[in-house]
Amino acid sequence: MKTIFAIAGVVIMELYRRKDFYVLFVLTAFITLAAGSVHFFHESNIVRYVKDLCLLLIWISAWIITIATTARQIPMERESRTIFPLLAKPVTRGQIILGKFFGCWFASGIALVVFYLFFIVVTGSREHYWPVLQYVQAILLQWLMLGLLTAMTLLGSIIFAAPSSTVTIVFISAFSIWFLGPHLNVIALRNPEPLRDIIYTAYFIIPHLELFDLRERLVGDWSVVPWSACGLAALYAAAYTGLFLLLAWLGFRRQNLST
Amino acid sequence: MKKVSPYCWLALLLAACFTLATLFVPRATNWNGNSGSENAFQMLLGNGRKLFANECFVMADVYFHSGFYPSIFDQQEVDRDVADPANGGVDDADPNEDYRGKPKDWIDRLGRNFAPNRHTHLSQGGASGNMKSSSVEEILPWLKLAADMNPQMIETYTVGAYWLNTDMHQPQKAVDFLRTGWKNNPDSYEILFALGQVYYEDYHDNNRARNVWELAAKKWRQLDAGEKTKTENKLIFERITTHLAKLEEGAGNWQKAINWYRAAQTVSETPEAVQQQIDEVEKKMAGQPAATNNPAH
């Protein structure tokens, strides 16, 4: 475990050094504050559109940070040939995969907390309402989803040659899953056989990212989600994360690193 | 030649930019026939902005339901509840009404915990039941955007003014919004009717209410014969004329009231009910002298 967290620590430090996080945070803050400064009908208490916009920007930023950070980890180690001294420590390939995963996941978690702190301060100062438990649930579920996305990207970085192609493919796949995934069952039922079975199978195979999206509930001031449902979602995320990590390890184990 | 510092060049370029901006910006506002009064959406999107106006109105309805709303995949015929009270309907949210039906599978069942899952209206306390944090004012940005995107979308003004007036108790803001709508749609009898309602019910200004309602009735009568037979148009004319009749009845102008009720009877789906009201006014007229003998419009 010590080795895994040592590798993870290096990845977290990389987040501080790179400009991605700072640029995205400043952009999110600027757009949110600009939108919040607009007054409709001279009403100063209107807040939901600001919450909606800010949460959307947080989601987009978190995805970009997670995918971009994860996609370049292993290709960069290979390109700079630092993977060889790392493996000579000795560190196993499985430990590298896990170290990179935890590093990227914790890094995205740190970024997520900073983004949410900004969101809570901005919206709370406007509506004078602090639903702490709802915020905690939203952060936790989104972080679990980012773990799943990290594992997915790590697998992509083993399969695809360049980080740019990994970023593009994972981003498009994740967006499609998030946008279409929840509706595939409805679409399946409207189609004849055998298309119905094919779509329904796809519906059960894909990881359902919408299970971790509490934006609409936060914007609409809905009550806390039952913790049992959150627990099931956590198990669901853990299962898919484990699956992707296993596949990544299987791919990485047999990969020729010298080419 | 002496080398000039890059900072000097930068300062010089900034000064040049500022000078040119002060020179050209006032002129640019008049290029292509654009006047300074046109909004940013008109300048950026041209007529294409009208495509987005309907989406903005739908977003107002989504916010009204605190996010509990069918998606494009649900193929659900959407009744825009946010507009119902403004159109004379009832503002009722049935908590048992669920467009999704029963859960189709375990993922669907689990997923419903993480999405808005109950039919509520902001006007009735929203999802939390907390009126303070769930006020109808939250829909206003979308209605304002819809009006900016498509100034000819009349429903935006009537719905916005209705909530400004009834839920937020801001009749002056409602009047201002309706007047903006009237300026953009001078022939709209719907906007005139809504304006008259604010004058009559909130300001108790019968003269102004009468004037705008009579103008609304006049505008409605200018419609094509085909347009007049449409149910929604008949309904709005019935509302205009019955409101005028009530106003005249309250003022003791019995004959005018009867004439407006008769006008309402021509389009009403329940002419018997209108006839009862006419009979009541006739009884009152027989018992009391008329306030004025002016012929009705």
For the stretch A92-125, pLDDT in tens is 888 899 999 999 999 999 999 999 999 999 998 8
**Which of B108, B126, B140 is closest, CB to CB, to A185?**
B108
Residues 36-65 of A with CB under 8 A from B: 38, 40-43, 45-49
Q: Is the pLDDT of residue B34 over 60?
A: no
CB contact under 8 A, A49 and B104: no
CB contact under 8 A, B110 and A233: yes
Q: Is the pLDDT of residue B36 over 80?
A: no
Integer Cα distance of A168 and A165 in angstroms: 5
Q: Is the pLDDT of residue A192 over 50?
A: yes
Integer Cα distance of B251 and A182 in angstroms: 59
Looking at the domain covering B187-297, what would its CATH class be?
Answer: mainly alpha
What pLDDT, on a 0 to 100 scale, did the predictor assign at position A138? 95
Tokens 């996010």 belong to: B67
- The residue among A43, A126, A140 with the most chain B CBs within 10 A of its CB, best to mutate, is A43
Residues 83-142 of A with CB under 8 A from B: 127, 129, 141
Q: How confident is the model at residue B75 (pLDDT cuts 50, 70, 90)?
A: low
Which residues in chain B have Cβ-Cβ distances shorter than 8 Å to A224?
none
pTM score = 0.84
Average pLDDT over every residue of B236-246: 90
CB contact under 8 A, B133 and A127: yes
Q: Is B134 on the interface with A (CB under 8 A)?
A: yes
Average pLDDT over every residue of B126-134: 64
Which residues in chain A have Cβ-Cβ distances shorter than 8 Å to B95?
none
Closest approach of chain B CAs to the CA of A131, in angstroms? 11
- The per-residue DSSP string of A219-232 comes to HTT--PPPHHHHHH
Q: Where are the domains of chain A?
A: 2-253
What is the share, in percent, of chain A residues with pLDDT greater than 90?
Answer: 59
Integer Cα distance of A198 and B66 in angstroms: 34
Report the run of H or E that residue A255 belongs to, with start and end.
none
A85, two tokens: 């001294």
Of B167, B169, B81, nearest in space to B121 by CA = B81
Q: Where are the domains of chain B?
A: 187-297
